[in-house]
C-alpha cells in the first residue's frame, strides 16, 4: 500500500516546496506530485503537520553510540544498537567505524557488517576502517602499537566486504602508492587522514586514487605558507570530498568557512566521529582500556587528545546553520546528498526524488528530529 507524506515543506532538487506530496511504495519514493493528484487520495495519508521533510542523514564516521563502541563489540547486536541510537538524531544511513586495531578485530568487524547488511539492520551501509595504516605523528587517540603497512593479504581482507561500502582512511606517506592503487582497484573508497604527509605526498596519494579526506583539519599536516600540507592539498583539489566535524570544538567555525569558500559546492559533508555517549545515558566508555568521559559534550582522553565526539547529525546540521551561517537547504545536503555521492551511493540515497530509497527525516522549526523513515518504514 502506498503512503503519501503531505502537509510539509519538502526539500526537493529545486529547493523547498509545500505544494507537493511524497508518494512512497515498497520502500522507495515513487513520485512527488501535486496535492490534488488522485494517487494522493488513494494512498495512506501521513500528515507532516507543517514540519520540514529532508533526505535522511548519512554519517560516514560513526565509532559508536547507544553505549556501544564498535571496536569493543564488533558484532551485529552492537551495530543494531549503534544504528538505533543515531536514528533518533536523523541518521538513516551510516558507516560503522573501526579505529586502528589488530587484523583479527578488523576481520570480525567486516564480518559483522556483512551479517548486519544481510539481516537488514536498518541504516548500516558498509564499514569505515579508520586506520591502522596511519601516521604516529598524527595519531590522535589511536593506539600507535596497532599501526602497520598492509601486505597483500591484509589489502584483500580490508576489501573483503561484498555487500556494502568500504571506506578506508590511511596516511598516504605511510602506504606505498601501489597499495593505494590496489585498494582502489578492489573497490575500496580511500581517504587521507591521520597524516603528517607533505603536500607532494598527499598529491601523490590523490593521483593514486584517494578521493576523500577524513575530518578535514583534524589529525593532518596544516596549511602553511611554504608547506601546504594535507589541508592545503585537500582545499586545492577540486575533485575530492572532505568530511568535517561541525561541533564548535574540533575546528573553529572560521576555518570551516574558509574550507566552504575554497571547495566546490558539494565537496564538503558532515560527519560526527561519534562515540558511545551519543544516544546513551552514560557519558563514559572504554577505549583501548582507558575510561573516557564526555564533559560538556567534549570527548578527550587522559593525554588531552580529542577522542572522537559526542556529536549527532541533527546537532551537526543545526550547527552548520547557526555557526557557519549556511541555509538549511545546504546544511541538509551536506548531511545527506553529498556523503551519498562521496560513497558512490548518490543514485539511490541522499535525495527526495523518484526511484530513491525512502530514507527521510522530519524536523521541526528548531531542526529537532520529529520522525524518520528508513526504506519507507517509520520510527
Three-state DSSP class for 56? Answer: coil
Question: If we measure between CA atoms, which residue out of 121, 130, 67, 74 comes closest to residue 93?
Answer: 121
Annotated binding site for substrate: 141, 218-219, 226, 250, 306-308
User: From CA 223, how far away is CA 130, in angstroms rounded?
Assistant: 22
Question: If we measure between CA atoms, which residue out of 60, 59, 49, 68 comes closest to residue 5?
Answer: 49
Task: Answer whether 370's CB lies under 8 Å from 364's CB.
Answer: yes
| Residue 273 annotated among the catalytic residues of the structure | yes
Annotated binding site for Zn(2+): 130, 194, 215
Cα of 57 vs its chain's centroid, Å: 8
Question: Measuring CA to CA, how many Å separate 289 from each of 292, 309, 310?
Answer: 9, 18, 19
Question: If we measure between CA atoms, which residue out of 235, 224, 184, 219 comes closest to residue 205?
Answer: 184
C-alpha cell at 29: 519514493
User: From CA 148, how far away is CA 21, in angstroms rounded?
Assistant: 52
Taking the alpha carbons at both ends of the chain, their separation in whole angstroms is: 18
Catalytic member of 247, 273, 312, 359 = 273
Task: Answer whether 114's CB lies under 8 Å from 162's CB.
Answer: yes
Q: At what angle do helices 103-118 and 76-87 cross, to 10 degrees?
A: 70
Active site residues: 273
Amino acid at each position: 500500500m502506498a503512503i503519501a507524506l503531505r502537509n510539509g515543506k519538502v526539500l526537493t532538487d529545486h529547493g523547498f516546496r509545500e505544494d507537493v506530496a511524497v508518494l512512497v511504495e515498497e520502500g522507495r519514493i515513487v513520485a512527488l506530485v501535486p496535492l490534488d493528484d488522485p494517487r494522493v487520495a488513494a494512498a495512506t495519508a501521513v500528515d507532516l503537520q507543517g514540519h520540514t521533510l529532508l533526505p535522511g542523514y548519512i554519517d560516514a564516521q560513526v565509532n559508536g553510540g547507544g553505549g556501544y563502541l564498535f571496536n569493543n563489540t564488533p558484532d551485529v547486536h552492537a551495530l543494531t544498537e549503534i544504528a538505533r541510537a543515531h536514528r533518533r538524531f536523523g541518521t538513516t544511513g551510516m558507516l560503522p567505524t573501526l579505529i586502528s586495531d589488530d587484523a583479527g578485530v578488523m576481520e570480525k568487524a567486516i564480518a559483522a557488517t556483512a551479517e548486519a547488511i544481510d539481516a537488514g539492520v536498518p541504516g548500516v551501509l558498509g564499514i569505515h576502517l579508520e586506520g591502522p595504516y596511519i601516521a604516529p605523528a598524527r595519531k590522535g587517540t589511536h593506539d600507535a602499537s596497532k599501526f602497520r603497512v598492509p601486505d597483500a593479504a591484509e589489502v584483500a581482507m580490508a576489501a573483503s566486504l561484498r555487500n556494502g561500502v568500504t571506506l578506508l582512511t590511511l596516511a598516504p606517506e605511510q602506504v606505498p602508492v601501489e597499495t593505494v592503487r590496489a585498494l582502489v582497484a578492489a573497490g575500496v573508497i580511500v581517504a587521507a587522514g591521520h597524516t603528517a604527509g607533505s603536500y607532494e605526498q598527499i598529491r601523490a596519494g590523490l593521483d593514486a586514487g584517494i578521493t576523500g579526506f577524513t575530518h578535514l583539519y583534524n589529525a593532518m599536516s596544516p596549511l602553511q605558507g611554504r608547506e601546504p600540507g594535507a589541508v592545503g592539498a585537500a582545499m586545492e583539489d577540486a575533485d575530492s570530498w572532505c568530511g568535517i566535524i561541525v561541533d564548535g570544538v574540533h575546528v573553529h567555525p572560521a576555518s570551516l568557512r574558509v574550507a566552504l569558500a575554497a571547495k566546490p559546492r558539494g565537496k564538503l559533508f558532515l560527519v560526527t566521529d561519534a562515540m558511545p555517549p551519543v544516544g546513551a545515558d552514560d557519558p563514559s566508555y572504554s577505549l583501548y582500556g582507558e575510561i573516557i568521559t564526555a564533559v560538556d559534550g567534549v570527548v578527550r582522553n587522559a593525554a588531552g587528545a580529542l577522542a572522537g565526539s559526542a556529536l549527532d547529525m541533527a546537532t551537526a546540521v543545526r550547527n552548520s546553520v547557526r555557526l557557519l551561517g549556511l541555509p538549511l537547504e545546504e546544511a541538509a545536503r551536506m548531511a545527506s546528498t553529498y556523503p551519498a555521492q562521496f560513497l558512490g551511493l548518490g543514485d539511490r540515497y541522499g535525495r527526495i526524488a523518484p526511484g530513491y530509497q525512502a530514507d527521510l527525516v522530519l524536523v521541526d522549526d528548531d531542526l529537532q528530529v520529529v520522525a524518520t523513515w528508513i526504506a519507507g518504514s517509520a520510527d
